[in-house]
């Protein structure tokens, strides 16, 4: 049955329900208020159905279109495009800026200090930023294995901690 025919049938059903209540047959016991309420519910149901008015449709219950919504950024998404070398370069730049600021020296002198590894007392961090071979000790490798962390990530965290300590004035080599 087409939707127009269905709508017409619902309207006819509603009108028929009202008509049945208006006659008040004796089998219902002659209780017009109850019959009026029943007829009103049927009538409004028929009108809503005929007009295709629904309070909860699938369109209203479906989540919005995700292409038009606001994309929530993922934490760390900014650094997803960085590889190990670019992260090392960024950390070197942070260290040079920290040495330049805290030692009140020129950029070239700060670069030399970072390159020589004299800017921090952590040998592992100094070797990491000076492009030297970073050899993680056996104890640190076992510790990383037990904690499930990457040794390179541990070196990066130690580098950030050394830069932060330098900037805060805790260490001034």
pLDDT value at residue 164: 92
pLDDT value at residue 96: 92
pLDDT value at residue 123: 86
Secondary structure of residue 141 in the 3-state scheme: helix
Q: Which helix (H) or strand (E) holds 110?
A: helix 107-116
* DSSP letter, residue 119: T
Phi and psi at 156, nearest 5°, equal -65, -40
How many helices (DSSP H) and strands (DSSP E) are in the chain? 8, 0
pLDDT value at residue 70: 65
pLDDT value at residue 49: 64
To the nearest 10 degrees (0 to 180), the angle between helices 3-23 and 32-50 is 170
Residues 93-129 have pLDDT tens digits of 999 999 999 988 899 999 999 998 888 888 888 888 8
pTM exceeds 0.75 for this model:
no
List of the chain residues with pLDDT < 50: 1
């Amino acid at each position: 049955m087409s939707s127009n025919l269905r709508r017409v049938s619902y309207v006819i059903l509603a009108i028929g329900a009202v008509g049945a209540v208006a006659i008040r047959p004796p089998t219902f016991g002659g209780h017009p208020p109850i019959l009026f309420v029943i007829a009103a519910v049927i009538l409004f149901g028929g009108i809503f159905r005929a007009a295709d008015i629904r309070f909860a449709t699938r369109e209203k219950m479906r989540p919005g279109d995700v292409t038009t919504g606001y994309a929530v950024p993922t934490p760390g998404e900014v650094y997803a495009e960085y590889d190990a070398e670019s992260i090392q370069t960024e950390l070197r730049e942070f260290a040079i800026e920290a040495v330049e600021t805290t030692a009140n020296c020129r950029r070239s002198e700060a670069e030399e200090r970072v390159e020589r590894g004299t800017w921090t007392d952590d040998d592992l961090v100094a070797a990491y930023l000076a492009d030297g071979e970073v050899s993680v000790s056996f104890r640190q490798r076992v510790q990383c294995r037990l904690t499930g962390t990457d040794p390179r990530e541990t070196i990066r965290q130690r580098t950030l901690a050394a830069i932060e300590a330098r900037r805060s004035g805790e260490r001034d080599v």
